Chain A
Amino acid sequence: MTKLFERRLIPADSPGAVASTTALALFAAMAVTAIFFLYYGASPVQAYFGLFHEPFGTLRGFGYSLVRAAPLALVALGTIVSWRSGFYYLGFEGCFIMGAAAAGWLSLLTAPGALLGPVPLAIFLPLVILFSLTVGGLWAGLVAFIRVRLGGNEVLISLMSNYVARFFLQYLVSGPLRAPGSLPESPLLPRDTWLPFILPGTRGHAGILIAVAAALFVWVLLEKLPLGYELVVTGFNPVAARYAGIEVDRRMVFAGFFAGGLGALAGMVEALGSQHRLMDGISGSMGFVGIIVALLSRLNPLAVIPVALIYGGMSVGADAMQRRASIPSSITFILESLAVLLVLASDILRFYKPNFSALRLSKLRASGGEDSA
């Protein structure tokens, strides 16, 4: 008997095939999550409307969406740079924290009476970007160095280094940078060092502009510069890269450095744009969620900004949903997780093609059966 779906030897990889399987996966994730909405007595249509109306239909909500999207996008861009270079770094949580700590520390130095004293934002901003980037770059670059020189496993080392960063920040906010008071957190950062708000009447700050600029830069790097070409070749096939005269080890260390720098910028944006102080747990797992954003973007830097907006917006919508309809916001996690799982799993669909003649035949047979009955 002929099969209705034939297996392909090579997956269909046209943009249409990728888009349609991804859409199918998202639809399936929403359909499954609808069951949970029904369980809480909510209409799925209304719930989905609520989920997307708050973050994208109201100015205030949109401001929050931008705030959530910026660090996610930066972490996702770091993931893209490192993973496409074959360096499977998972330490963005640590880079985030180190970047936040570096930015917070530098910012506190500009407080009246502190070492530097007040510095205009136009000077402070480039300085703090450079400083956070370097700190995060060294943090992740070290892992890359250990991998290429000593053969260490970057997945393990980077995961473990996340804890080191976390404990380091805990030490900072309960020791040298602690504000007087009961909570282990730093003083409020000087207002002059805050990222400017860009949407009047909302919390939306300039972090999203940094993220957009970074996305464009990563895109130019990977698609337009010879260095990016070498990174991508290294990621796809290190043997071929060596053959082509590419110094695989150096490229990998560079990828680690740059990816770590982007992760640290995420922390900087969160500290200077949104929290305005340092505290334990400042990363809020964004170092991991950003990796998910990168996966959903299929490691395409230009897709990162919209995906991060949707992802960040959904968490804003989920909070609103919980406040208004008392539907647990964790349902959104289920939706997000299902979306990731199914989008990644949907790749398998591209290995199959419908056998139209067999489909027609089975339809014919079905109708023929009715005739004879």
Chain B
Amino acid sequence: MKHTLEMKNIVKRFPGVIANDHASLTIHAGEIHALLGENGAGKSTLMQILYGFHSMDSGDIFIDGKRIQLSSPKDAIALGIGMVHQEFMLVPTFSVVENIVLGLGQGAGPMLDLPKASSKTRELSDRFGMAVDPSAKVGSLPMGVRQRVEILKLLYQDARLLILDEPTSVLTSGEKDRLFAVLRELRKSGRSIVIVTHKLNEIMELADRVTVMRDGLVLGTKSIQSTSQQELAQLMVGRDVNLHAVKPEACFGDPVLRVEQCVIDEGGIEKVHAVSFEVRAGEIFGIAGVDGNGQSELVEAILHLRKIKSGRVFLAGTDVTHMSVAAHRAKGISYVPADRRGVGSVAEMTIADNAVLGLQRRYTRGLFRNMRDSRSSAQQLTERFGIRGAGIDSAAGKLSGGNLQKLILGREITSGASLLIVEQPTRGLDVGAVESIWKELLRARQQGKAVLLISAEMEELLNLADRIAVLFDGRIMSVFDAPFESVDRIGLLMAGIASSPGSTSVASQETERDQTL
């Protein structure tokens, strides 16, 4: 088989992280290649390098064995490489054909030849079964059609390799089927397609081969026939080192957090469907699930960072559904968000200032901020949690991911809250940092705090949680009690497969219902 494109040993560093660590990838002509990995695994960076948006620190890219240079997206498209971004880059007030020729300088001299471009667009649209009207205004089109306009724009420029970043995240299930049909047509015409995603079922349905990335590393490429959803899930979220935490005897108290029939929607798409659960004092309640199945939305809604469409949230018996974030914090919720740099800390401010983020009204002396106390609290955190790499007066952005996480976790644990919500606490951290964070979470449990742990890492949940709920597609599929004997079943549920053969699976029941609705 002829290789169309090879990326070899791509290295890309950003401040504080290696986004791509000697990543290599080969894409054949006429295949649909899935690039799989969790958020922050480096897949988008790798594709942005291929698209000429980022420069790489080292590495080589070859097309048909010839080394190529990419310094801008223009170079990439000239070589037949195009990308459809997660957020579409279209002008809503322009027609389809105007968007397609935008920036291409089509036509004679300074004049655009729109009729000609229009007929070429129609021809391409018919050939690949896209049903796009070139004269329609983009702003009036549904998301699925806008996406096809983006694809048409690339085809118009004769792209041979199309990169689609999370192409199904904004689509309804009908639009998704439509997209897949178009992509299969494109494959038939000999074009290559890379879809960047973390949705396993879509990969199984559509792709020919899949490459899995984690922490900037390419773990391997498999053909779809020789792999399973479960194996991919394990590759994507698993960790190579075996860690074991010693979990003391549980001692549960009263329920601290109760979520009742919580429904959350975003832009008309329901992200969480009527989820209910309870977390008791002294308990670590785990929510397992692959990214993008509604975990982040659920947590944000509990804190009122996001609106709840319907349902209630109780904290120690008080209805806090509609209380402000500050009121939630005052009532004793602390939260370690998944995004350490973007949400949990302010990179530009000092470590001492970050040590009181969210507690700024507590560290006061009279009218003034109590600098001495906040500095000594920062000092205590660095000592107790072993935060290394920078003094408390340097910017928090200078800390490595693990040290920054320890700072945030330390701040939230020591704030005296009765409920600790922890989202993906050890993602991307090295083994040492993982161990110390696990130890701290167990210690919080021993102190009688209720801990809600959202994680995609099986090992983490199995080691820490007293109960595990599996969240898939915004629904709790099942809740398991420790000790967890049906590990395989949890993994399958995370991938949306109910295991017992013969009976209709929950997942397929739900999809059926979606389609009939």
Asked if A243 and B349 sit within 8 Å, CB to CB, the answer is no
Asked if A225 contacts B367 (CB within 8 A), the reply is yes
Given A233-B349, A240-B342, A245-B328 contact (CB < 8 Å): yes
With a cutoff of 8 Å between Cβ atoms, the chain B residues found around residue A240 in the complex are 342-346, 357
- Given known contacts A10-B15, A240-B344, is B360 in contact with A226 (CB within 8 Å)? yes
- How far, in Å, is A151 (CB) from chain B's closest CB? 16
CB distance from A169 to the nearest CB of B (A): 37
- Complex Cα spacing A46 to B446, Å: 76
Name the residue of chain A whose CB is nearest to the CB of B15: A9
A243 touches B15 (CB 8 A): no
B324 A245 Cβ-Cβ under 8 A:
yes
**B15: A residues at CB distance < 8 A:** 9-10
Q: How far is the CA of A239 from the CA of B338 in the complex (A)?
A: 13
Chain B CB within 8 A of A242 CB: yes
Q: B343 near A247 (CB under 8 angstroms)?
A: no
Task: Give complex CA distance A13, B396 in Å.
Answer: 13
Contact B343 A243 (CB under 8 A): yes
CB distance from B234 to the nearest CB of A (A): 32
- Is the pair B14, A9 in contact by a Cβ cutoff of 8 Å? yes
Q: Give residues 1-31 of A contacting B (CB, 8 Å).
A: 9-10, 13
B369–A244 touching, CB < 8 Å: no
Complex Cα distance, B337 from A247, in Å, reads 18
B324 touches A247 (CB 8 A): yes
Q: Does A232 have its Cβ within 8 Å of any Cβ on chain B?
A: yes
Contacts of A233 in B (CB 8 A): 346, 349, 357, 360
Distance (whole angstroms) from the CB of A75 to the closest CB of chain B = 24
Distance to closest chain A CB from B48 (angstroms) = 18
Q: How far is the CB of B330 from chain A (nearest CB, A)?
A: 8
Interfacial residues of chain B within 308-350, with CB under 8 A of chain A in the complex: 324-330, 335, 337, 342-349
**Inter-subunit contact B358/A244 (CB<8 Å):** yes
Chain B residues, CB < 8 A from A13: 395
Q: By the criterion CB–CB under 8 Å, are B343 and A229 in contact?
A: no
Say yes or no: A243 contacts B305, CB within 8 Å. yes
Residue interface mask A232-260, B partner, CB < 8 A = 1: 11001101101111110000000000000
Main SS of chain A's interface residues?
helix
**Contact between A224 and B368, CB atoms less than 8 A apart:** yes
Question: A124-182: which have CB < 8 Å to B?
Answer: none
Residues of B within 8 A of A230 (CB): 360
Report B-chain residues with C-beta under 8 Å of the C-beta of A9: 13-16
**Could you tell me if A226 and B398 are in contact, using CB atoms closer than 8 angstroms?**
no
A residues in contact with B369, CB < 8 Å: 224-226, 229
Q: Which of B346, B356, B395: most chain A Cβ within 10 A?
A: B346
Of the residues A239, A243, A247, contact of B358 by C-beta under 8 Å:
A243
- State the CA gap A243–B299 with chains docked (Å): 11
| Alpha-carbon distance between A233 and B330 when the two chains are bound, in angstroms | 19
Complex interface residues of chain B between 340 and 386 (CB less than 8 A to chain A): 342-349, 353, 356-358, 360-361, 363-364, 367-369, 371
Residues of A within 8 A of B371 (CB): 224
CB distance from B341 to the nearest CB of A (A): 9
- Most chain A beta-carbon neighbours within 10 Å: one of B324, B360, B367: B360
Nearest chain B CB to A203 CB, angstrom units: 37
CB contacts (< 8 Å) of A225 on chain B: these are: 367-369
Residues of B within 8 A of A224 (CB): 368-369, 371
Q: Are A232 and B337 in contact (CB under 8 A)?
A: no
A239 neighbours in B (Cβ, 8 Å): 342-343
Once the chains are docked, how many angstroms separate the CA of A243 from the CA of B336? 10
Q: CA separation between A193 and B358, bound complex, in Å? A: 46
Bound form: Cα–Cα A247–B327 in Å = 11
* Residue numbers in B under 8 Å from A232 (CB-CB): 349
Contacts of B330 in A (CB 8 A): 245
Closest to B362 in A: A226
Residues of chain A within 8 A of B360, CB atoms compared: 226, 229-230, 233, 244, 246
Residue in B closest to A229 when the chains form the complex, CB atoms:
B360
Chain B 33-60 interface mask (CB, 8 Å, partner A; 1/0): 0000000000000000000000000000
Question: Which of chain A's residues have a CB closer than 8 A to the CB of B347?
Answer: 236-237
Q: Report the minimal beta-carbon distance from A242 to chain B, rounded to whole angstroms.
A: 6
Taking the closest CB of chain A, its distance from the CB of B346, in whole angstroms, is: 5
Q: How far is the CB of A14 from chain B (nearest CB, A)?
A: 10
The answer to whether B325 touches A242 (Cβ under 8 A) is yes
The residues in A between 70 and 92 inclusive whose CB is less than 8 angstroms from any CB of B are none
CB distance from A120 to the nearest CB of B (A): 31
Closest 5 CB pairs of A and B: A245-B326, A244-B358, A9-B15, A245-B325, A245-B329
A-B contact pairs, 29 of them (CB 8 A): A9-B16, A10-B16, A10-B397, A224-B368, A224-B369, A226-B361, A226-B364, A229-B353, A229-B360, A232-B349, A233-B349, A233-B360, A236-B348, A236-B349, A237-B342, A237-B346, A237-B348, A239-B342, A240-B344, A240-B346, A243-B325, A243-B335, A243-B337, A243-B343, A244-B329, A244-B360, A245-B329, A245-B330, A247-B326
| Partner-B contacts on A (CB < 8 A) | 9-10, 13, 224-226, 229-230, 232-233, 236-237, 239-240, 242-247
Q: Contacts A243-B337, A243-B344 given; 9 further ones with Cβ under 8 A?
A: A10-B15, A10-B16, A13-B395, A226-B369, A233-B360, A237-B342, A240-B342, A240-B344, A244-B357
